[in-house]
Chain A
Amino acid sequence: MEWTSYLAPLSQGAWVTVQLTVYSTILGGLLSFLFGLGKLSHNPLVKGFSVAYIEVFRGTSLLVQLFWIYFALPLVGQAIGIDLRFPPVVAGVVALALNIGAYGAEVVRGAVQAVPKEQYEAATALNFTSRKRLWRITLPQAIPEMMPTFGNLAVQNLKDTALVSLISLGDMAFRAEQIRNFTQDSVTVYTLVLLMYFGMALVLTAFMKLLERYVGRWRAAGR
């Protein structure tokens, strides 16, 4: 078989990989802010829940989290009488997002805490409410600081999507495995897939760089 004939099924898989990456990165980003700010909350319940989430998902294997959500959760649901069966795509996106969200939450917390306390004082002196201080003073300064690490996390997430092939989701890694089983042409198939992941990572990195420049455009003014 010609290697070009691998491209059609691999492209199909690539599209699934792109979707998984985009959805789980966006959802993971939201979770990062939710729990990163939650960990800074003065409410002990919110804070405790956020800390627990971050520690559990950083402290366990993504693969096991994925299996747990896809295989174990439906059984737990059955036992308590709720339907917790998810299609593989949903399980995959949720597992990836929960995982990246736990790492991202620490990034958000760190960047928010790194905003100089003088900025809090200036905002207090101008009588901002704590909510407006967060949205208008702290976060606009913290977000540009988060972006380089968020870029790394997004690429990490792209590569982690390969794990979802193990819950029979037809992503790029899954297609590659199928073709290899059929043709035994490991070298060609895996080289192609390697290059395709690399290409996607390049595009993702470039996009994150643009985003970084956009949210921090005030820093470059006049320079």
Chain B
Amino acid sequence: MSEQVESLIRKDYSAGFHTQIESDTLRPGLDEEVVRFISAKKEEPEWLLEWRLKAFRAWQEMEEPTWAHVSYPLVDFQALSYYSAPRSMANKPKSLDEVDPELLATYAKLGIPLHEQEALAGVAVDAVFDSVSVVTTYRAKLEEAGVIFCPISEAVHRFPELVKKYLGSVVPQKDNFYAALNSAVFSDGSFVYIPKEVRCPMELSTYFRINEVKTGQFERTLIVADEGSHVSYLEGCTAPMRDENQLHAAVVELVALDDAQIKYSTVQNWYPGDKEGKGGIYNFVTKRGLCHRNARISWTQVETGSAITWKYPSCILKGDNSVGEFYSVALTNNLQQADTGTKMIHIGKNTRSTIVAKGISAGRSQSAYRGLVRINAGAEGARNYTQCDSLLIGDRCGAHTFPYIESRNASAVIEHEATTSKVSDDQLFLCQQRGLDAEKAVSMIVNGFCREVFKELPMEFAVEAGKLLEVSLEGSVG
């Protein structure tokens, strides 16, 4: 079957087009001047510039981490450009009518219409193109409910107290190499604030698009759910097909205050590189949420893109009775490499966490789950349940599991299970004997394998995720 499977995993990346648009792109290289330039461009207050510079200085002292189960030539950070914006965005368009039609067309082509009347009902979108936010839909409607959803560069001016209070409160500037880099040069991203006891009336979504050549994307997302509030947020990402590797080093911080709930879903479809492993995005992302008392943060991710994925969406369960969840599907094909998982840090009493991680490896790819469950001494009655399953398609890929379990409290109960299996010849034959073609059979088996994760996604995106897997696996069976 291997050959059959192998030949099925072939398909073009449909989001791989490039938008012809004039951009202002900063000269390559990174020094203090660049950090000051970005800050000035955004007309930032002094405190934020200082905050960036502190991060930059820390970053200069740090080393790129090498512990992940991935290999790639080290990134030349001086060869990258740290800021790029469509020229038409220079004079901040006031409404959608003033936005460059090329940009709108780009998003339409990606299936993300930005005109509200055409958009998915009930989903507000912030569209980020290279280093700037292009447009945010449904803002008026959201503001009626008191919900703030705007580019973070704008929030710095309009809600300085909120930004100052929470920026870096979950992921400090010096947290790790990429987080420090992001803190120094982050360009844009989304800011969300849900007031007390408010249930956000619609899904919020940010769509990231890298367009420019040799540009790093460093967006920063900050979501604050005030006491008793609820929000569901989704991010999507694509990039053109290019031979060079592009760097994406984002930071996402979630703050769930007492009794609040945040559901954060990601459908990551960055360009994965071609079949020979040329090009593709390096996705080095730090995502972390802080749960106060009775709060719940749920991460759901479907990762099919990127040449390299290095990503561990985590929960700090600080408040008593708080809940952290991580549901993940990571699919790698061709020469992709993924080292992804989560960290659940139990600090409060009766904190609970659930981890369901599904890895699918095809082609010559390598997929690793890396997770940490830590029960601190004070986390009386903490519970964790972890399930990691790997599915191998073809005999040239790898699937790995590295779970770290650290318990410091006798009343905690931790359960971890991991299995590895393959799409078996018998399963494939059964499906084919019932009239399904091999491709449909594999996608059905893979979808079945991922079911527990997909059911955590908002409805529309669950369908999208299923299709995305199908596309990503196409050509993996003959």
Our verdict on whether A and B bind, yes or no, reads no
Binding site for A on B (CB under 8 A): none
